[in-house]
Amino acid sequence: MDLDAFRWLLTDDGAQLLARARQVADRPALAQQAELRRHATPERVAAALTQAGLRQRAVAKFGDDAARLWFTSDGLEQATRRRVADHRAARLRAFGAGTLLDLGCGIGGDLMAAARVGVTAAGVDLDPLRVAVAQANLAALGLPGAVVVADAADVDPAPFDVVFVDPARRGARGRTFSPDDWTPPWPLVASLLERDACAKLAPGIPHDLVPDGVEAEWVSDDGEVKEAALWSGRLATCARRATVISGGGLATLTEDDDPGAPVVPLGRYLHEPDGAVIRAGLVTAVAARLDGGLLDEHIAYVTTDSPDATPFSRAYAVQEVLPYREKALRTALRERGIGRLTIKKRGVDVVPEQLRRRLDLRGDAEATIVLTRIAGEGACVLVEPLAR
């Protein structure tokens, strides 16, 4: 979709075509196009169908607002989920930020979150189409904010209380893992982190890339790690933080909550820490909170004799220890009539899909096994997930 096609979608005629696209969404693709081409050119029909499809995909990130918002394919992919953006905006508001500069604002997800909590936000982006989409999204929700086309390197952040930067991690060849290939590149991001700022980065960011004095917060939403946010200046309150967001609310851990934990024998329960906890290096904080220990000092599994729950991990009841060697394991699973098997693994060289095929199980029962190391030795544990 180009800028002209998007601007046409914002007109009354564009709105009517988009409404028709929603009405025929359940029909085959050729039937959709045939119906809509009675009302508009092929280029405008393509833009309307693309936008209707993006709005359906966007529900997972933006909820009910998705039906009113505007998207590009790459903009939706990079956009922050609503609950994660709202958490960040709440931190900004708690800090007392009155103004925010969003460098690389994309389609405006974080701009909208900031505006919802009363922070005056301005966004810049290199792409005129994304800028137009961000402007339209603020207008669609009746939120204040300014968005302009500009290079982040050319914008003076001094007038703003806080700078937020979300570097694009895609180039001409697709996703890039080199910080120097980001837009803006890492040196500019690092220079912004010398003031009150927040940078949204991929969760796989190496710990040694985090500058001294900067807080690294790994955030998960419904069990999926979404980002690492770096908070600097007066916004930094610790070194490492894990924040877990779910339908039940939000919980957070820092290194101040981590007294350490011992390696202990396998107990009656096994706990799988949330990915944000693992990324933040706070597995022993979860073990301490549960009054438990680690199965192995290098493995992110916690074991306890109590079923106590925590939002920072998933709990499983230990049924029994099964043979670790494949042939003996196959025999043990077949004896128990297990035909459907969930394989979880950590710290062992196993590809679950390949192992499942080799086991060639048949039966009516369903089970979960955990393949890991206990005190340095390979182990297979039959477990039953506990209700959350």
pLDDT at 177: 67
Q: Token pair for residue 238?
A: 């610790």
Same domain, 128 and 197: yes
With 80 as the cut, is the pLDDT of residue 69 above it?
yes
Contact 78, 130 (CB under 8 A): no
Total domains in the chain come to: 3
Same domain, 301 and 351: yes
Which parts of the chain are beta strand (E)?
99-103, 120-125, 146-149, 162-165, 170-171, 174-175, 197-201, 215-221, 224-231, 240-246, 249-254, 269-273, 293-294, 302-304, 313-322, 338-345, 365-374, 377-385
- Is there a domain that residue 329 lies in? yes
Give the 3-state secondary structure of residue 67.
helix
Beta bridge partners of 300: none
Q: How many CB atoms lie within 10 A of CB 29?
A: 9
Kindly report the backbone phi and psi dihedral angles of residue 167, in degrees, each rounded to the nearest multiple of 5, phi listed first: -65, 135
Contact 115, 143 (CB under 8 A): yes
- Is there a domain that residue 142 lies in? yes
Q: What distance in Å separates the CA atoms of residue 312 and residue 289, rounded to the nearest whole number?
A: 10
The residue behind tokens 């851990």 is 253
Span 2-12, pLDDT tens digits:
899 999 999 99
Q: What distance in Å separates the CA atoms of residue 218 and residue 89, rounded to the nearest whole number?
A: 16
Q: Token pair for residue 276?
A: 């944000």
Same domain, 83 and 205: yes
pLDDT at 248: 86
Q: What distance in Å separates the CA atoms of residue 45 and residue 36, rounded to the nearest whole number?
A: 6
- Is there a domain that residue 219 lies in? yes
Q: pTM to 2 decimals?
A: 0.92
Same domain, 222 and 200: yes
Within 13 Å of residue 156, how many CA atoms lie on the same side as its CB?
A: 2
Residue 352: pLDDT band with limits 50, 70, 90 = very high
pLDDT at 178: 77
- Is there a domain that residue 261 lies in? no
**Mean of the per-residue pLDDT values of the chain:** 94
- Is there a domain that residue 55 lies in? yes
Same domain, 282 and 185: no
Same domain, 101 and 207: yes
Of 17, 38, 66, which residue constitutes the final position of a domain? Answer: 66
Range of the domain at 327: 269-385
* Ordered DSSP codes for 216-240: EEEEEETTEEEEEEEE-GGG---SE
Same domain, 100 and 220: yes
Residue 183: pLDDT band with limits 50, 70, 90 = confident
- Is there a domain that residue 257 lies in? no
Q: pLDDT above 90 covers what percent of the chain?
A: 88
Span 84-135, pLDDT tens digits:
999 999 999 999 999 999 999 999 999 999 999 999 999 999 999 999 999 9
pLDDT at 20: 92
Q: What is the DSSP letter of 295?
A: S
pLDDT at 267: 97
pLDDT at 170: 66
Give the 3-state secondary structure of residue 344.
strand
Within 13 Å of residue 310, how many CA atoms lie on the same side as its CB?
A: 24
pLDDT at 175: 67
Span 362-376, pLDDT tens digits:
899 999 999 999 988
Mean pLDDT, to the nearest integer, of 148-161? 95
- Is there a domain that residue 256 lies in? no
Same domain, 207 and 273: no
Span 262-301, pLDDT tens digits:
999 999 999 999 999 999 999 999 999 999 999 999 999 9
Alpha helices in 175-282 (DSSP H): 186-192, 275-279
pLDDT at 271: 97
Q: pLDDT above 70 covers what percent of the chain?
A: 98
Same domain, 218 and 101: yes
Q: What distance in Å separates the CA atoms of residue 292 and residue 304, rounded to the nearest whole number?
A: 5
The Cα-based distances of 327 to 109, 310, 357, 358, 363 in angstroms read 51, 36, 13, 10, 17
CATH number at residue 210: 3.40.50.150
Alpha helices in 37-79 (DSSP H): 42-62, 73-78
pLDDT at 299: 95
- Is there a domain that residue 299 lies in? yes
Q: What distance in Å separates the CA atoms of residue 220 and residue 244, rounded to the nearest whole number?
A: 5
Residue 387: pLDDT band with limits 50, 70, 90 = confident
Q: CA angle, corner 213, sides to 85 and 101, nearest 5?
A: 40
Q: Token pair for residue 283?
A: 């597995």
With 70 as the cut, is the pLDDT of residue 174 above it?
no
Residue 346: pLDDT band with limits 50, 70, 90 = very high
The Cα-based distances of 274 to 13, 76, 93, 267 in angstroms read 47, 25, 27, 20
Contact 55, 165 (CB under 8 A): no
With 70 as the cut, is the pLDDT of residue 259 above it?
yes
The residue length of the chain stands at: 388
